[in-house]
């Protein structure tokens, strides 16, 4: 007998077959129904209007993609994506605070505006703006913080303050690979953080839990 999740997935997949989608898409969905239930669940595991296609999250990089994090054109996207997707967002800049396309304060405003939006604030929530990150972030239920592109630039003392600012369950190991070697990043985290090995293992496994792909 099919589980409740399987029934929900099949119902959602059937809505694609009955909907106004192109024949190639319907053919692929029908193939998954008949031959690959695991992949079907991966593609429709969230109850979204158009499924997820297996997509767990989206990376936004205001600097490279040419927009400001407080651009009002983003608001409908964030509103629609609450509860369903994870946004990893590059936060921080070498630019002055008033010229930066993203900053810890912009991220804090975003989290207040969309409290159900799940966000990973890259680079401890503020590349080259770590003092601002300490000031602005740390009290948001759906905000996670990754460790990427930080240990090469901060002192052990600042790193430990950044780690202490956030719940251990909201810290994710990140490296910015290929810019930084994951093994070197992990060794710096172990050496500089003062964390126990149990705490390090927790940071290493949090992303899997967030994305629904880990234990």
Question: Can you give the pLDDT at residue 80?
Answer: 82
DSSP 7-57: HHHHHHHHHHHHSS--HHHHHHHHHHHHH-HHHHHHHH-S--TT--TT--E
Q: In Å, what is the CA distance from 36 to each residue of 22, 29, 40?
A: 20, 10, 6
Question: Can you give the pLDDT at residue 2?
Answer: 59
Q: Are residues 105 and 29 in the same domain?
A: no
Domain count, the chain: 2
Q: Are residues 31 and 62 in the same domain?
A: no
| Residue 127 resides in a domain | yes
| Residue 50 resides in a domain | no
| Residue 51 resides in a domain | no
Q: Are residues 63 and 20 in the same domain?
A: no
Question: Can you give the pLDDT at residue 204?
Answer: 96
Residue 79 domain boundaries: 57-211
Q: Are residues 9 and 104 in the same domain?
A: no
210, 118 in Cβ contact below 8 A? yes
| Residue 49 resides in a domain | no
| Residue 132 resides in a domain | yes
Q: Are residues 78 and 133 in the same domain?
A: yes
Query: What pTM did the predictor assign?
Result: 0.76
Question: Can you give the pLDDT at residue 39?
Answer: 81
| Residue 52 resides in a domain | no
149, 179 in Cβ contact below 8 A? yes
Q: Are residues 173 and 99 in the same domain?
A: yes
Q: Are residues 66 and 169 in the same domain?
A: yes
Question: Can you give the pLDDT at residue 139?
Answer: 85
Give the DSSP H/E element, type plus range, for residue 121: strand 118-121
Question: Can you give the pLDDT at residue 131?
Answer: 97
State the 10-residue block means of pLDDT for the chain, 215 residues long.
74 77 77 86 58 75 95 86 90 95 96 94 98 95 97 98 96 94 96 96 94 69
Instruction: List the 143-146 sheet strands across, edge first.
Output: 57-60, 86-89, 118-121, 143-146, 171-172
CATH label of the domain that carries residue 146: 3.20.20.140
Rg of the Cα atoms in the chain: 20
Question: Can you give the pLDDT at residue 50?
Answer: 42
Count the Cβ atoms, other than its own, within 10 Å of residue 40: 22
147, 124 in Cβ contact below 8 A? yes
Q: Are residues 19 and 61 in the same domain?
A: no
Q: Are residues 40 and 120 in the same domain?
A: no
87, 117 in Cβ contact below 8 A? yes
Q: Are residues 147 and 77 in the same domain?
A: yes
| Residue 154 resides in a domain | yes
Q: What angle do CA 119, 123, 129 make, to 5 degrees?
A: 110
| Residue 201 resides in a domain | yes
128: buried, middle or exposed (CB in 10 Å: 19+, 13-18, 0-12)? middle
Q: Are residues 106 and 155 in the same domain?
A: yes
Q: Are residues 95 and 166 in the same domain?
A: yes
């Amino acid at each position: 007998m099919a589980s409740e999740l399987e029934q929900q997935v099949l119902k959602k997949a059937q809505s694609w077959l009955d909907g106004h989608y192109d024949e190639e898409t319907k053919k692929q969905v029908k193939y998954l129904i008949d031959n690959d239930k695991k992949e079907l669940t991966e593609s429709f595991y969230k109850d979204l209007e158009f499924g997820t296609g297996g997509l767990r999250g989206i990376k936004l990089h205001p600097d490279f993609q040419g927009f400001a994090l407080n651009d009002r054109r983003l608001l409908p996207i964030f509103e629609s994506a609450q509860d369903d997707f994870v946004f990893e967002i590059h936060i921080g800049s070498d630019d002055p605070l008033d010229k930066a396309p993203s900053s810890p304060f912009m991220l804090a405003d975003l989290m207040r505006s969309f409290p159900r939006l799940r966000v990973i604030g890259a680079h401890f929530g503020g590349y080259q703006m770590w003092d601002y990150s300490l000031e602005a972030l740390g009290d948001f239920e759906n905000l996670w913080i990754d460790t990427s592109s930080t240990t090469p630039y901060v002192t052990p003392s600042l790193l430990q303050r950044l780690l202490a600012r956030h719940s251990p369950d909201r810290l994710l190991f990140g490296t910015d690979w290929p810019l930084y070697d994951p093994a070197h990043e992990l060794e710096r985290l172990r050496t500089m953080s003062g964390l126990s090995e149990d705490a390090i293992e927790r940071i290493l496994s949090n992303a899997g839990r967030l994305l629904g792909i880990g234990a």
